[in-house]
Structures are given as C-alpha cells and as structure tokens.
Amino acid sequence: MHGSKRVLFLDLVLSVFRLNGLLIAEGDDMTEGLGLTHARWKVIGAIALSNNGLTVPGIARVLGQSRQAVQRITDVMVEDGLLEYHKNPKHKRSVLVLLSEQGKEIYNTLREVQDPWAIDATEDIPVEELETALRLIRRLIKKFN
Amino acid sequence: MHGSKRVLFLDLVLSVFRLNGLLIAEGDDMTEGLGLTHARWKVIGAIALSNNGLTVPGIARVLGQSRQAVQRITDVMVEDGLLEYHKNPKHKRSVLVLLSEQGKEIYNTLREVQDPWAIDATEDIPVEELETALRLIRRLIKKFN
DNA sequence: GGTACAATGACAACATGCTGACAGTTGAAG
DNA sequence: CTTCAACTGTCAGCATGTTGTCATTGTACC
C-alpha cells in the first residue's frame, strides 16, 4: 500500500507550485528598481552562471522553457543594451548570448541584494537538509526530463 | 563564511524553477485528452480539495495567483460547463465556485491517471527523503509568505 | 447607525509562455 | 559524399499571469 507516499508526493508537488510563485515574487522584490522582470533576471542569472556564454536554446534548456520564449526576451534585452549577441565559432546561425557591460553591472548590483537574501533564507536550515532536498529535486528533474 | 551554503541554496532555487516547469508539463501530458490546460486542472484541483466550494479570490489565495487571473479562467470554465457559480449566503456578490457534474467526472478521470503517476514517480525514493524535502519547502514557503 | 477601510467583480493594457509551422544549418550514419 | 534526422531562427496565434483602476459590497470600529 503506497497511499501515504502518494499523498505525500502530491503535497510536495503542490508545495513546489506554491514555492515557485513565492520565489518569483521574492526575485521581483529584489530587482525592484533595477528595471528587471522575472523573465529577465532569470536569463541574466543563467548567462552569468555559464562561463562561455550560452546559445538561446541553451538558456531555454537551463530554465526549462521553450526556446521561442527565451528568444523573444533576449531580443528585447539586446535592444535594451543588457545583452550582446556574439559570433559562435561552433555554429553559423546560433549566436552566443553574453552580458553587456551594463548587464554585468546590473548583475553585480543584483548580487549585492541576492547574497544576503540567500544567507538569511537559509539561516536556520542545516546544510544536510538543503543537500537532501536538492538531491531529491534533481532526481525528479532527471525523471521527468 | 556561508559561501557554499549560498551557492547550494541558489542551486536549489534554480532547480525549483526547473522542476516547476517539468511538473506542469507532466500534468499537461496526464490531462491530454481531457481538454484541460494547467491553469484549468489547478483550479479543479483546488476546488476538489475544498469541501464547501471556494470563492474566486479564495482559489487565487490557494494557488498563489491574482484573483483576476483566476476569475478569467473560472468564467470560461463555467461557460464550458466544468464549473458552476452558486449563491454565497455569506456574500451578495462573491459567488461560490463548485464543480459541475461534468467537472466531477473529469476530476475522477484525472485521478485515475494521477495516482499511478505519483506512485511511479516515487518508486525508488525513500519516504524519509520525501518528508525532509517537503519539510524544507514548507519552511521556505512560510518564510516567504 | 455611520463611517472608514478592506474585499470583490469587471475591464484594460501589457509581459510572458506555449505550440505549430517553415526554412536554413549541423552532424552523424550510410 | 550523400542523406536524413535533429537543431536553430523566425513568425504567428493563442492561453495565461500581472498590475492598475473603478464602482460596489462587506466589515469593523466608533
């Protein structure tokens, strides 16, 4: 009988939905004044975490979104001077997306708010619990991928 | 120095974003053929879990969304015969949203797919890990609420 | 009872996400 | 070298979510 396990898991799923919304709200609060929406700081974060830049479909894979949705955002962000398209030696059409100088400045400003936030959020949570939760979430990601 | 804990947490945040997207995709796959979108099965689920029906703003609070977004969905779902608006003895304007007969049937059909899915997804995951992860996520939800 | 504040429905403008479709590019298998 | 499937950019249509605004209804406080 796996009844309680099933309920436990459905509870987890609903909680992930809820936490997802709250995390986006937190991010939007943090980026208030930087002129960023959640779609934008997600892209900036994904690029900043990569060393050599990412292609548009690459960003989409990291964020778990469609490449078309990411393409639309990056196009506007390039127009706004936050990102730059660079030639990709490995692909004639698929350019690399990198942070512009302005984009880097905004990311640094974001980090100044984000770092204390992350530390505060995990203040009273043991590292082991974070690791267990992350491992479980990764396992589910792999399963559903 | 909380550096590694900070990185661990940011990794967790990104993974929650990713898992959120994958779970919605899983739900959409399960409801394929039922004519439901994720906005719709979330509403049906929220109402089904409540005993006496919910008002539109009430659904919004449960799902962590704006009442306007939920209102638009429920209006169309009433038109489509999935939901019904009933008089609310406690409020002259704010009606109660309930599942119609067709809505109940669809929810039952959904359960027939959802239950095996939940069992399969957690097949090789110990209950203790599920509980640890859920506890952590709930703690974060409470923190950001 | 009256009054101030919160909650609700309704509508609009906008940002974001998805899928489908089509053409050009890449890479791997034959 | 050829061929074909997968990947990519681009455009279009549509569903969803957010914020803002306004009038109406509820509630709490005096």
The whole-number pLDDT of residue B34 equals 86
Rounded to an integer, the average pLDDT of B104-125 is 90
Q: Which residues contact B127 (CB under 8 A, 6 or more apart)?
A: A4, A5, A8
pLDDT per position as a tens digit, A108-124: 998 888 889 999 999 99
pLDDT band for position A64 (50/70/90)?
A: confident
Residue B110 structure tokens: 């959904």
What pLDDT, in 10s, does the model give residues B61-93? 888 889 999 999 999 999 999 999 998 888 878
DSSP symbol at A83:
E
Looking at the predicted structure, is the pLDDT value of residue A21 above 70?
yes
Rounded CA-CA distance B85/B75 in Å is 9
Q: Is the pLDDT of residue B2 over 80?
A: no
Hey, CA dihedral for B27, B29, B33, B36, is it positive or negative? Answer: positive
Q: Rounded mean pLDDT of A11-33?
A: 84
Under 8 Å CB pairs connecting chains A and B tally to 153
> What mean pLDDT value characterizes chain A?
89
Q: Which residue in B132, B14, B125, B145 sits closest to A125, CA to CA?
A: B132
Residues 50-109 of A with CB under 8 A from B: 62-65
Query: At residue B123, does pLDDT exceed 70?
Result: yes
Tokens for A120, please give them: 């505060």
Q: Is the CB of residue A29 less than 8 Å away from at least one CB of chain B?
A: no
Return the percentage of chain B with pLDDT > 90, whole number: 48
pLDDT band at B1 (very low <50, low <70, confident <90, very high): low
Judge if the beta carbon of B86 is closer than 7 A to nucleic acid strand D.
no
Sheet of A83-88: strand order equals: A54-55, A91-99, A83-88
- Domain encompassing residue A20: 3-144
B32 sits in which H/E element: none
DSSP 8-state secondary structure symbol assigned to residue B130 = H
**Residue from B11, B17, B28, B134 whose CB has the most chain A CBs within 10 Å, to mutate:** B17
Euclidean distance between CA atoms B139 and A121, whole angstroms: 10
CA distance B135 to B81: 38
Q: Identify the residue with better confidence: A1 or A106.
A: A106
3-state secondary structure of B99: strand
| Residue B3 scores a pLDDT above 80 | no
Return the CA Rg of chain A: 18
Length of chain B counted residue by residue: 145
Q: What pLDDT is recorded for position A35?
A: 82
Report the number of distinct structural domains present in chain B. 1
Q: Is the CB of A53 under 7 A from strand C?
A: no
- pLDDT tier at B133 (50, 70, 90 boundaries)? very high
CATH number at residue B136: 1.10.10.10
**For the residues A45-71, what does the mean pLDDT come to?**
91
Instruction: Return the structure tokens found at B39.
Output: 């906005």
Q: Say how many CA atoms lie within 13 Å of B57 toward its Cβ.
A: 4
The tokens for B128 are 């203790």
Q: pLDDT tens digits for B15-50? A: 888 888 888 888 888 887 788 999 999 999 999 988
**Length of chain A, in residues:** 145
Indicate yes or no: strand C within 7 A of the C-beta of A88: no
pLDDT tens digits along A65-85: 999 999 999 999 999 999 999
What does the alpha-carbon distance between residue B71 and residue B112 come to, in Å, rounded to a whole number?
28
CB crowding A2-35: b at 16 or more within 10 Å, else e = beebbebbbebbbbbbbbbbbbbebbeebbeebe
| Block residue for tokens 């009844």 | A3
State the SS3 of B45-95: HHHHHCCCCECHHHHHHHHCCCHHHHHHHHHHHHHCCCEEEEEECCEEEEE
Of A96 and A52, more confident: A96
Question: What is the chain A residue with the closest CA to B14?
Answer: A63
